[in-house]
Structure 1
Amino acid sequence: MELDPNEMTPVINRIKRARGQLDGVLRMLEDGRDCEDVVTQLAAVSRALDRAGFAIVATGLQQCLSNGDDMDSVDVKKMEKLFLSLA
């Protein structure tokens, strides 16, 4: 299943923000910042990436269903594996 780049714009923006946050985490580590602050920012990056992943999987599933495919033609095991890989 190929993803429509136009529908991925919000996901791309989320990942770019996460990349910026991750750069910030690296700077914090290099500057010797407080452990709690670093972990808090790292958790925010992780959540942003998880949400991006879920949005990608959900968009793919939605595309399958909106293209007239029924649930029998959707590879449920593959979709389940994608969801679980993000869990």
Structure 2
Amino acid sequence: MQEEEMCCCHKHKERSEKEYRDLINRLNRIEGQIRGIKGMVEKDAYCPDILIQVAAANAALNSFNKVLLANHIKTCVTDDIRAGKEETVDELVKVLQKLMK
């Protein structure tokens, strides 16, 4: 794997098999939660029960974001800073601002 292939500045990232599997497993669980919420609405479930499940799905998405962000900082951001690509810090700041809305 070449160094350029790992760089996020090309808007592409090759992930290790472990990182890929972890992210996909998390997304599959979130997808299941969303299907469960849809089923609850279709079955006229009690609103607070649905809201609790929505909160759980939001927490799962936030957890996914934390893992993905940590991986991004540890690889792409760190590599770009070492390579003198300071604009990556600006990009990270913009992403963090969007995540904190």
TM normalised by structure 2 equals 0.72
Instruction: Provide the alpha-carbon RMSD of the alignment.
Output: 2.1
The alignment status of 1:4 with 2:15, answered yes or no, reads yes
Q: After TM superposition, where is structure 1 displaced by more than 6 Å over at least 4 residues in a row?
A: none
Q: CA-to-partner distance for each residue in 1:32-80, whole Å, 9 max, x for gaps? A: 1011110110111111112112211210110132x48439535112112
Greater Cα radius of gyration, structure 1 or 2: 2
Any stretches of 5+ residues in structure 2 without a counterpart? 1-7
Within 2, Cα distance between the matches of 1:81 and 1:48?
22
Alignment length (residue pairs): 86
What is the aligned counterpart of 2:94 among 71, 81, 86?
81
Higher RCO structure (Cα 8 Å, ≥6 apart) = 1
Amino acid of the structure 1 residue aligned with 2:23: V
Within 2, Cα distance between the matches of 1:80 and 1:69?
14
Residue equivalent to 1:27:
39
Within 1, Cα distance between the matches of 2:66 and 2:92?
11
Residue equivalent to 1:48:
60
- The percent identity for this pair of structures is 26
